Amino acid sequence: MTSKDVILQIIGKIGTAGGTGCVIEYAGSVISNLSVEQRMTICNMSIEGGARAGLIQPDEKIFNYLKGRPMSPKNENWNKALEYWNSLKTDNDAKFDKEINLNGEDIAPMVTWGTSPEDVVTINGKIPNPDNEKNEDKKNSINRSLKYMGLKPDVKVQDIKIDKVFIGSCTNGRIEDLREAAQILKNKKKAAHVHGMVVPGSGLVKEQAEQEGLDKIFIESGFEWREPGCSMCLAMNADKLKPQERCASTSNRNFEGRQGRGGRTHLVSPGMAAAAAIAGNLDDVRKYRN
């Protein structure tokens, strides 16, 4: 289970309007055990849950992460900042407008099937059937999404063939994300029909990945190793899906046309994107972990 699965499950539960008017604070043992970069993925996708922002109370992990970074305070300013940041703990008796509890053990690898980030299903699940939906608006919305996505109700998620894999974006383009994908792809080849690209989130991430030799793992498995940028997260440049092409993507949005007109996006974690590249269809990353 990765932080992408956590946030996709949360959005699936609260809906894309669930956080409207709120800032979401994430807490609990699952969250505090996550690394800083994994936490960023969760906070980043708070917007997809309708919130203005997402936050996690600062702890030693955060302070260690920030220390010595290019834009971090230095010397005397660092000590002053640290003292202040240490005061930013959530009060034990803090009251929240809404509280949602999830059990970490129940969180499986998640995939989106539709055209909204709330359209989530576990990798072992099936495409929903609009006939099971009583609310007329929701039924129409499911039908519209299925039509756009070229999917039939009740199809097994793992039977969905993909054309492209995109690993990158502000949601999942950090060094830990690239490590997670590289670990799955090491000594393996992507499926022949799949086109895969890895786009580091920044110049520093690219540099570090190359120092760690991750670029070679990606290239050897058949991926393109690209310059940092937004790339196919939103298809503003030439990196886009053709109509009806299907993509396993580590980005944050699966709206109609987001990755190119008529393109079909399935949001997944970096590990799941790597697994999909190897299998040629959406697949359970847990089969590929060593």
Partner 1 sequence: MKKFVSLKSIPAYLPIVNIDTDMIIPKQFLKTIKRTGLGKNLFHEMRYDNDGNIIKDFILNKKPFDVSKILIAGNNFGCGSSREHAPWALLDFGITCVISSSYADIFYNNCFKNGILPIILNEEKIKELSEYSKRQEEIEINLNDEKIIYGNNEISFKIEPFKKKCLLEGLDDIALSLEKSSNINEFEKKLEFSKPWIFND
Residues that bind partner 1 (CB under 8 A): 15-17, 20-21, 47-48, 50-52, 71, 73-74, 77-78, 80-81, 84, 116, 137-138, 140-141, 144, 234-236, 243, 253, 255-258, 261-262
Compare residues 31 and 81 and give the one whose CB is closer to partner 1: 81
Compare residues 221 and 252 and give the one whose CB is closer to partner 1: 252
DSSP 73-139: --HHHHHHHHHHHHT-PPPTT---S------GGG---EEE-SSSTT-EEETTSB---GGG--SHHHH
Beta strands (DSSP E) in the chain are 23-25, 53-55, 110-112, 120-122, 164-168, 195-199, 224-225, 246-249, 264-267
User: CB 58 → partner 1: shortest distance, Å?
Assistant: 14
User: CB 80 → partner 1: shortest distance, Å?
Assistant: 6
Compare residues 21 and 92 and give the one whose CB is closer to partner 1: 21
User: CB 132 → partner 1: shortest distance, Å?
Assistant: 18
Burial of 248 (0-12, 13-18, 19+ CB in 10 A): buried
User: CB 189 → partner 1: shortest distance, Å?
Assistant: 32
Compare residues 52 and 193 and give the one whose CB is closer to partner 1: 52
User: CB 122 → partner 1: shortest distance, Å?
Assistant: 22
Q: How far apart are CA 161 and CA 193, in angstroms?
A: 10
251 and 172 in contact (C-beta within 8 Å)? yes
Compare residues 215 and 239 and give the one whose CB is closer to partner 1: 239
